[in-house]
Chains A and B, each alone.
Chain A
Amino acid sequence: MGEAVTSLTKVSKRELLEKILEIPGDQKPLNCMQCGKCTSGCTIMVLLENYPHRVVDKVRLGLIEELLRSDVIWACTQCLKCKEACPQRVSPVEVFLALRNLSINEGASLPEAYMKMLSSTLETGFIQEQVEVIGSDGETYTREKLGLPLIKGPKKLEKYQLAVMTAFEKTSR
């Protein structure tokens, strides 16, 4: 007998599903009736053959472990069409976001761009540092040169950093 690709008997299934349900958001995978409307309108489906209804199906069955190791959960552009299309008020996009949270909580490393955004947000308050923009006239522009006011970011930076880190370290209610 060949081994099943997906094990239907793992005991930790319910536990991981509970974790997905507990993450704040409107994911509601258990409402899904597999109509496929989300997939039929998915922006990414045509590009990367990602099928949101299949991901939601796996989640509601508790077959989450394999998803946590898969790139599939990052293949979503958050256009929100799936949530808009669902007749059952499932939010596949938020199922994807919850899976990303859970994979990171379970030890997966952050994609580089997210790591950068998080560290910049901690250091400066914003997802990236101010950049210089080269204009069509060949000049280099900064906020200052454009006469834009200084950015008034977090005032008490250390307290801000401590609070934000506390929030990002929270993994369950």
Chain B
Amino acid sequence: MEYVFYPGCTVLTEQYGYEISTRKVMNTLGIKLIDPENISCCGMPLRSINAYGWIYLSARNMAILREYNKEIMLLCNWCHLSFTHVKKILREDEELRSWVNEVLKEEDLEYKGDLKFKHVIEVLYDDVGLDNLKGLIKLNLEGLTFSPHSGCQFIRPTELGRPDNAIEPVKLSKLIEILGANAKPHIGWLECCGWAISKTNMDSGLTLAGNRIKAASEAGVDGIVIICPHGAEMLDKRQEEALKIIGSKTPLPVMYYTQLLGLALGLKPKELGLQLNKSSISKILEKIT
């Protein structure tokens, strides 16, 4: 199996742990990743400024990635929703599609429209498959319980077709469970990490992040497992501020699913970039080793 790898801005420029753990895990699974050239932001974070700018950026990346004639693997929930939505808009709106192609000509690109792409969680769940993954596990994570955090754009909006169910998503939970650990849905498990509003109102963003962490702590889990770099920015990187703003003193480990999977596959914490996580990861590592 091989995929063209599109990690997205936040991973490429800051959330290195997600990228390095994905690369190591894919290598272990015998999956080849191709690094595309000429890529940029998917445009989704800039949709607030101008919808045409958003559409252009997604279209240009889809046009570039389409040239590889292979399936694309994404890491970010926002990129995934952005490609999904823009693909639909450009399929249904001929006027916009011809405008996009007019502008793309300036970059010697053409939008053709039939790009196939998957989130890394879909690659693992749907393409690799639970049984295949289970057979490769070297370290059983029995005794650990995690709060699965699929993230908003992975499950909503149903209308656009999302990788998992909006009411009770299962993919991340099942992927956690095949490692021997428990996945525990709990009150507040589908709440927002607060990333988007943190751009204009940091205190509100931090409050949402703090509440999400607190909800998991109160459910008695050992940590939160995330699959989106924005979740990492709020729940891991800013955890100290987030807990402070809601008056909680209970830190909680937060790690990417690819990091957790990597540990179960027998990879070392540093190979998975776990030293880059800001939350109290050592509590998990102590329980494993």
Which of A's residues lie within 8 Å of B, judged by CB? 23-26, 43-44, 47-48, 74-81, 83-84, 89, 91, 97-98, 100-101, 104-105, 110-111, 113-114, 117-118, 121, 125-131, 133, 135-137, 139, 141, 143, 146-149, 151-156, 159-160, 162-164, 166-168, 170-171, 173
State whether the Cβ of B288 lies closer than 8 Å to any Cβ in chain A: no
Bound-complex Cα distance A98 to B200 (A): 16
Write 22 A-B pairs (CB below 8 A) sorted by A numbering. A24-B51, A77-B195, A78-B196, A79-B192, A80-B152, A89-B159, A91-B157, A101-B50, A118-B49, A121-B57, A130-B13, A133-B276, A135-B275, A141-B275, A146-B16, A148-B19, A148-B20, A153-B38, A163-B106, A164-B57, A167-B56, A168-B46
Asked whether, in the complex, the Cβ of A77 is within 8 Å of the Cβ of B48, the reply is no
Within 8 A of A (CB), among B32-69: 35-41, 45-53, 55-57, 60
Bound-complex Cα distance A133 to B49 (A): 29
Asked whether, in the complex, the Cβ of B60 is within 8 Å of the Cβ of A163, the reply is yes
Asked whether, in the complex, the Cβ of B40 is within 8 Å of the Cβ of A173, the reply is no
State the main secondary structure of chain B at its contact with A: helix
State whether the Cβ of B281 lies closer than 8 Å to any Cβ in chain A: yes
Task: Looking at the assembled complex, report how far the CB atom of A150 sits from the nearest CB atom of chain B, in whole angstroms.
Answer: 9
Asked whether, in the complex, the Cβ of B60 is within 8 Å of the Cβ of A104, the reply is no
Asked whether, in the complex, the Cβ of A164 is within 8 Å of the Cβ of B196, the reply is no
State whether the Cβ of B197 lies closer than 8 Å to any Cβ in chain A: yes
State whether the Cβ of B273 lies closer than 8 Å to any Cβ in chain A: yes
Task: Looking at the assembled complex, report how far the CB atom of B205 sits from the nearest CB atom of chain A, in whole angstroms.
Answer: 7
B40 touches which one: A76, A126, A133 (CB < 8 A)?
A: A126
Q: Which residues of B contact A101 (CB under 8 A)?
A: 48-51
B205 touches which one: A77, A166, A167, A170 (CB < 8 A)?
A: A77
Q: Which residues of B contact A137 (CB under 8 A)?
A: 275
Asked whether, in the complex, the Cβ of A170 is within 8 Å of the Cβ of B50, the reply is yes
State the main secondary structure of chain A at its contact with B: loop
Asked whether, in the complex, the Cβ of B55 is within 8 Å of the Cβ of A24, the reply is yes
Bound-complex Cα distance A164 to B60 (A): 10
Task: Looking at the assembled complex, report how far the CB atom of B153 sits from the nearest CB atom of chain A, in whole angstroms.
Answer: 7
Bound-complex Cα distance A35 to B9 (A): 38
Task: Looking at the assembled complex, report how far the CB atom of B285 sits from the nearest CB atom of chain A, in whole angstroms.
Answer: 10
Asked whether, in the complex, the Cβ of B35 is within 8 Å of the Cβ of A149, the reply is yes
Given contacts A146-B16, A163-B106, 14 further A-B contacts (CB under 8 A): A75-B201, A77-B204, A111-B200, A125-B39, A126-B13, A127-B9, A133-B276, A135-B275, A135-B276, A136-B275, A136-B276, A159-B107, A163-B60, A163-B103
